[in-house]
Amino acid sequence: MSSTSINVDRLNQYLLGSFAEARTEARERVKDTRLHKIEGQVLADQRQHVFNNLKILVEQDAISRAFPTELGGRDDHGGNISAFEELVIADPSMQIKAGVQWGLFGSAVLHLGTEEHHRKWIPQIISLELPGAFAMTEAGHGSDVASIGTTATYDEDAEEFVIHTPFRAAWKDYLGNAALHGRAATVFAQLITKGVNHGVHCFMVPIRDEDGNLLPGVGAEDDGVKGGLNGIDNGMLHFTNVRIPRTNLLNRYGDVATDGTYSSSIDSPGRRFFTMISTLVQGRVSLDGASIAASKVGLGIAVTYANQRRQFAAAGNREQLLLDYGRHQRRLIPLLAKAYAGTFAHDELLLKFDAVFSGREDNDEARQDLETLAAALKPVSTWDAMDTLQECREACGGAGFMAENRLTSLRADLDIYTTFEGDNNVLLQLVGKRLLTEFAGQLKGMEPLGLATFAAKSLAENFYSHSGLRNVVQDALDTASERRTAKNLKDPQVQHALLSARVRMAVEEIAKALNAVRKASPGDQADVFNQHQNSLVLASKAHARLLQWEAFTRAIEAFEEKHGDSWDGTAQVLTWVRDVFALTVIEEELGWYMMHGLISPHRGRTLTEYLDRLITRLRPHAQDLVDAFGYTQEHYRAPISSGREQERQDEAHAYYEKLRKDPDAPVSEKTLRAKEKAAK
């Protein structure tokens, strides 16, 4: 039907992104069968397997990119994350254990420590001679790091810090490397000196000797079996007056002199805390990318299978391919579009991350933008990975449930990505607060028309008049012809207007509610905020979708610029994928759009019908679209996508064809009865 086709190689190259070399190298590396997760191992064996594999990564110099050149690294931050993300394909436990050692423990020393710390510990960390835990989270405080209970009290006489766990809820928990392999930990604790608590700082604390025995005052417990990632020895740590040298304070942003005097380059304790914490943003950046990688592998497996697997006889013919079913297309193709959107947005996030961490663009605003971008994208990509892997698993039926076919295993391992490195809901609330702040800032810009005056007008009117959006959206919706509406729905301006209106109107609504109680008691203000917490989180999610859409659109433009030849249908197909993404996201909240007057009920139907048509149009390209991700059977390593299904289908088909031609083959009772009936 469609003569448009994708140039798979070209698209594959493009999708590798801004750090293609590092990513390609890592994708080659993870083909190594030694690195692959072994399903069904007991805990101890899984942990040993993964620990051994970290050593292979060290041998292959696969993990040092982010460290400074003078310490054996390459100062390549974006490339490091790109390569790191691909480790998920071999074994998510290996990825996260590597993340603990080099991304968290190592990064804490690198970003929170100073030169002496770097010289002393970074080489040992890179070489895995010093395996370490990153002891931030406590049983009582996960996302609210500022409230942790562990204390580090300076003893002037001994020139030592005393690390102490004051109550059970202050036990450090869920720490990789804590139960077994860690010899030291970067411990976050309230720094107290001269009777003043200067807030959370990070300390290097030895925890085990060379034989693996816990040091005096250090307690550890094993978290045992988890829902996934069982190759990592997560555990708890607690400290009973454990003494460490003063110089073990990682003192980049705050220091204590021998006499106990505290000093910091950052005056405000709040800003100091956020500066320290923000050095750890790479965790979120990499989870975004790893989740998208896992989604792609899942989609690769499920789409390949659905293009070979047949079930239920089609009208008079061979059984029908799963992917030819309307429902099956509706289940998988929008997820495919989300994986594309995630890929392009992630590349922008990587570029931003690299700019900040390389120092090319390291300022407060850039850091804050990076934080917000990561906090917005990580929740949607980790949730998308859950939805995608689950839908892929169900789309493969019983075969999808077999561990050998990867889908359940990836899903179980990635589950925790939705709540670690920042609980998704907490992250989205952070984004929401930033959106509210920005909104308030914009309002200030248009004084004297303040928020109060603002509130008098109707929302929609307000919105349209300030954004200049009115014409675009209204044109799209007021037109009498449904076809014209469909045409409008593929207009990027219309898509953008709708997606951004979703965010802006929600934020405006919440801002007004908050403004109305700005003179009320803090308790009442908190109540009003709480009443709108759910809407704010949903608005932030919509904001993330908008960011993905914008990245997708920019990527298509850049692709067209690069490969402008008109015979190549790739950009055309990509545009359809982008349209499916936009309309899927809008359809998921169609009620919201209608309630806010952005889409009329009459036109809502057009959207759903047009989305159906687009999905049908993409069906012939589904295989190319997953192939273009660049993963091969060595990455999928799932028997169901290996071509085995095709062989079986062909064998069964040949058997029935032979029977059909064989005059002695049994006839079916149904056929006989039909003939008898006809004869009567």
As measured in angstroms, the least distance from the Cβ of 646 to its own copies is 11
Among 64, 93, 307, 409, binds its own copies (CB under 8 A): 409
Rounded distance between C-alpha atoms, residue 680 and residue 676, angstroms? 6
Is 615 within 8 Å of 333 (Cβ atoms)? yes
Residue the block writes with tokens 């003192």: 251
Site for its own copies in 597-616 (CB under 8 A): 597, 600-602, 604-605, 608, 612, 616
- Cα dihedral 326/327/329/332 (nearest 10): 180
Residue 326 lies near its own copies (rule: CB under 8 A): yes
Shortest Å distance, C-beta 168 to its own copies: 5
Q: Which two tokens stand for residue 503?
A: 């965010």
Q: Which stretch binds its own copies (CB under 8 A): 56-64, 292-300, 399-407, 625-633?
A: 399-407
Q: How far is the CB of 250 from its own copies (least distance, A)?
A: 18
Site for its own copies in 144-163 (CB under 8 A): 144, 147, 149, 153
Strand partners for 188: 202
Please tell me whether residue 531 binds its own copies under the rule CB under 8 A.
Answer: yes
Per-residue binding string, its own copies, 353-392, x by CB under 8 A, is ---------------------------------x---x--
What does 239-282 look like in DSSP terms, one character per residue? ESSEEEEGGGB--SS-EE-TT--EE-S---HHHHHHHHHHTTTH
When binding is defined by CB under 8 A, the residue of 167, 358, 364, 557 that contacts its own copies is 167
Using the rule CB under 8 A, give the single segment among 64-72, 239-247, 316-324, 544-552 that binds its own copies: 316-324
> Of 68, 72, 212, 397, which lies in the binding site for its own copies, with binding defined by CB under 8 A?
397
Span 32-71, contacts to its own copies by CB under 8 A:
39-43
3-state secondary structure of 548: helix
Q: Which is nearer to its own copies, 194 or 483 (CB)?
A: 194
- Residue span 216-255 as binding mask against its own copies, x where in contact by CB under 8 A, dash where not: -------xxxxxx-x-------------------------
Nearer to its own copies, 263 or 632 (CB): 263
532/129 Cα distance (integer angstroms)? 50
Rounded distance between C-alpha atoms, residue 202 and residue 107, angstroms: 12
Q: How far is the CB of 20 from its own copies (least distance, A)?
A: 33
User: Residue 242: what are its φ and ψ, rounded to 5°?
Assistant: -85, 125
Using alpha carbons, select from 199, 225, 173 the residue that is nearest to residue 44.
225
**Which residue number, 330 or 466, has a Cβ lying nearer to its own copies?**
330
244 Rama sector, left if φ>0, alpha if ψ -120 to 50, beta otherwise = beta
The interface with its own copies within residues 563-592 (CB under 8 A) comprises 587, 589-592
Nearest Cα neighbor of 232 from 353, 102, 92 is: 92
- Binder to its own copies among 192, 443, 507, 510 (CB under 8 A)? 192
Say how far apart CA 257 and CA 24 lie, in whole Å: 47
> Which of 84, 134, 253, 593 is in the footprint of its own copies by CB under 8 A?
593
Q: Of the residues 138, 421, 550, 645, which is catalytic?
A: 421
Residue 21 engages its own copies in binding (rule: CB under 8 A): no
Q: Is the dihedral of CA 174, 178, 181, 185 positive or negative?
A: positive
421 is catalytic: yes
Write the burial class of residue 499 (CB in 10 Å: 0-12 exposed, 13-18 middle, 19+ buried): buried
Query: Could you say whether residue 318 binds its own copies (CB under 8 A)?
Result: no
Residues classed as catalytic: 421
